[in-house]
Amino acid sequence: MIRPTKLGAKNSMFFGSLDAGTNNALFYTLMANCKNHGLNPEMYLTEVIKRLPHTATVEQAAELTPARFAAALRAQEQEVA
């Protein structure tokens, strides 16, 4: 599971700033969590961008973590079935 991250580790040394490295780590973590919960990362990001207001609070953002998003999708699928 860490193979893709390890393969890019050498390139990660040249982000240009600490903030860029931090942002990249956040993005990799988010994408790995999507995969762990069986979510298509592109679909997940598209939906989050649509649903999350520009002035979102921490609580609003927390509702859209991959774990909660996947749980909500499973609940919707069970209601339909």
pLDDT in tens, 17-68: 778 878 888 888 899 999 999 999 999 999 999 999 889 899 998 999 999 9
CA-to-CA distance for 6 and 12, rounded, in angstroms? 10
- The number of domains in the chain is 1
Q: Which domain holds residue 36?
A: 3-80
First vs last C-alpha separation in the chain = 33
CB contact at 8 A, 60 and 53: yes
CA-to-CA distance for 71 and 63, rounded, in angstroms? 11
